[in-house]
Amino acid sequence: MNKIHSKEWFLNRIGKRVFRDATSCKCQHCKDIVENGLVIGSDLHAIYLFDCQNEMEVFYRDKK
């Protein structure tokens, strides 16, 4: 089961690496994020990831 995170969860991880759960997308960009994670760079980036979670069911976690 995927964990739904609050906007604050994403905002609290600015400057930290998060990992995306695998999705049906097999493009290289998505594969890289699943494998290596991504660093949340700003408030805007955090809110974007929060919106992606809710609109596209793309889920993130702290550990791989």
Whether this model's pTM surpasses 0.85: yes
In what order do the strands lie in the sheet containing 60-61?
38-39, 17-20, 60-61
For residue 1, pLDDT beyond 90? no
Considering the chain, what is the average pLDDT of its residues? 93
Mean pLDDT along residues 18-34? 90
Q: Which residues pair with 28 in a beta bridge?
A: none
Segment 15-43 shows an average pLDDT of: 93
* CA atoms 61, 47, 56, 17: torsion sign: negative
DSSP 13: T
Q: Which pLDDT band holds residue 24 (cuts at 50, 70, 90)?
A: confident
